Amino acid sequence: MNNQYIVAIDGGTQSTKVAIFDLQGTEICSHSVRLREIELYENGVALHPDDDLWDSLILACEEMFKKFQGDKNDIIGVGLGSIRCCRALVKEDGNLASPVQSWMDIRLSRPYEHEDDNVKYVTTTTGYLTYRLTGETKDTRSNYVGPWPIDPVTLEWYEDKEKFDAYTTPREMLFDLVDPSSVMGYMTEFASEATGIPAGLPVVSTSNDKAVEGLGAGLVNDGTVLVSLGTYITSMMVGEKNNQNTVNYWTNPGATKDEYLYESSGIRRGMTTVTWIKDLMGSDVVMEAEKRGISPEAYLNILAQDVPVGCDGLYTILDWLSPPDKQFKRGMIIGFNGTHKGPHIFRSVLEGIALTMKNNAQAMCDELGIDLTNIIVSGGGSNGELFMQIFADVFGVPAHRNVINGSASMGAAICTALALGIYQDRNEAIENMVKRRDTFVPIEKNVRIYKEMNDKVYKHITSYTDDLLKKSHEIFG
């Protein structure tokens, strides 16, 4: 298994990352291309401009291969992952009929409505990129989250005509569904010329991006919760039961066959709130970070370390992007006094994220009847030592992070290794490819403070503020 490599594609809301892994899970090289800002409109439309997902993939591949010192002939496959809950309208020639609809787009809350005869296919981001790379009209069955005519139990298109027709999408416009961690097709000459990935390589299906991330983080069914820090923040567990009609979590298809991902409620525009705080604090933060040779976020983490636990009663509610069914929701920071400064606000946002996800994860665990024993934190935010300690203290359990903390790319590599028979099952693949970086142990004094804050105040804030926000929504919409 020496000198064999896998190309892993990790498409997110904010960037496209392409990495090359060896079969032991070492990242040989990678490159990320930041996506253009999503175009948000007052009518709830949210678009990835032009053909940004494809264009960024081409550029990421080009720059990654400049770093690759190995032989392209030793690459054995490509794992394709991309954002979930998006909709791509595709022409017969593979080009987009219109920009990809982001998961933030209000239209994603209802079935596709055919308005443009240039649209030949309606698919997900993984389906669109599969068509681009292989010419095959196939897609992973595990990325159809939302209003698609798919049976939630069988994960096949509805056979019942009445149920299928309720989604107003003709069958001929939909791709054929394949299991995650299986070969969908092979790189075409066209795709090879565009990306630099050798023609003829197998392109492997993954899943919805959260399930891929769970696999890449090494998530197993032992009471461990994964907290995924991204534009959308959520917490996840894995299991083997396709639980339906749940209250505090929902069941998504997993990244391997017969695996399921249990996902709690989350935070929309989660880590972009951290970016917002950084921008709000101005150029002084950026300039000082540059002097120190660190990122602005890392510098803010240093400043916030001197802020006491609980920020002296400053609380942040992370509703910066309201859910479609509760449009009145707004983000809030409450409890200011004259001593609060920028670092207090920054730390309060971090604590608000951790408290919200603790409550969401605990509700999921309680409904599943599972004791929460450990957490893994993934995503760029986990690079912050302060943030990791806050998670350990708020959750009251050890908080781990892995060597590869952007774990969706690792998940795509594992899917490929499984599809090509390198490893026999997910546990063997995880054992060989996922490596832990370090662990943060809860500090008992902090655990007690956060628990008292949460039980007496934080859990109850929105029960008081929702009525006021509903009245405000009547004025400002």
- Rounded CA-CA distance 129/82 in Å is 9
In this structure, the answer to whether residues 79 and 29 fall within a common structural domain is yes
Task: Please check whether residue 215 is in contact with residue 411, taking contact to mean a CB–CB distance below 8 angstroms.
Answer: yes
Question: β-strand 176-178 against 138-140: which pairing, if any?
Answer: parallel
Last residue of a domain, one of 176, 206, 236: 206
> Residue 471's domain is classified under what CATH number?
3.30.420.40
Average pLDDT for 340-365: 96
Last residue of a domain, one of 143, 172, 206: 206
Give residue 267's pLDDT. Answer: 95
Segment 104-159, tens digit of pLDDT:
899 999 999 999 999 999 999 999 999 999 999 999 999 998 899 999 889 999 99
In this structure, the answer to whether residues 265 and 170 fall within a common structural domain is no
In this structure, the answer to whether residues 188 and 228 fall within a common structural domain is no
Q: Does pLDDT of 11 surpass 60? A: yes
* Percent above pLDDT 70 for the chain: 100
Last residue of a domain, one of 172, 206, 240: 206
HSE-up (13 A, CA, CB side) for residue 6: 31
Tokens of 247: 């209250």
Q: Does pLDDT of 161 surpass 90? A: yes
User: Which residues in 368-377 are b (16+ Cβ under 10 Å) and which e?
Assistant: bebebebbbb
Residue at 211 is within a domain: no
In this structure, the answer to whether residues 327 and 397 fall within a common structural domain is yes
In this structure, the answer to whether residues 191 and 274 fall within a common structural domain is no
* Percent above pLDDT 90 for the chain: 87
Give residue 312's pLDDT. Answer: 96
The label of the residue with tokens 């997993």 reads 254
What angle, rounded to 10 degrees, do the helices at 296-304 and 283-292 form?
100
pTM assigned to the model: 0.87
Q: Does pLDDT of 273 surpass 50? A: yes
Residue at 213 is within a domain: no
Q: Does pLDDT of 1 surpass 50? A: no
Residue at 244 is within a domain: yes
Segment 377-425, tens digit of pLDDT:
998 889 999 999 999 999 999 999 999 988 899 999 999 999 999 999 9
In this structure, the answer to whether residues 168 and 237 fall within a common structural domain is no
Segment 355-366, tens digit of pLDDT:
999 999 999 999
In this structure, the answer to whether residues 247 and 148 fall within a common structural domain is no
The residue among 301 and 350 whose pLDDT is bigger is 350
Average pLDDT for 37-64: 96
- Rounded CA-CA distance 110/395 in Å is 35
- Rounded CA-CA distance 316/465 in Å is 13
Residue 277 domain boundaries: 219-477
In this structure, the answer to whether residues 270 and 404 fall within a common structural domain is yes
In this structure, the answer to whether residues 300 and 425 fall within a common structural domain is yes
The residue among 6 and 380 whose pLDDT is bigger is 6
In this structure, the answer to whether residues 154 and 250 fall within a common structural domain is no
3-state secondary structure (DSSP) of residue 157: strand
Give residue 301's pLDDT. Answer: 86
Overall domain count for the chain: 2
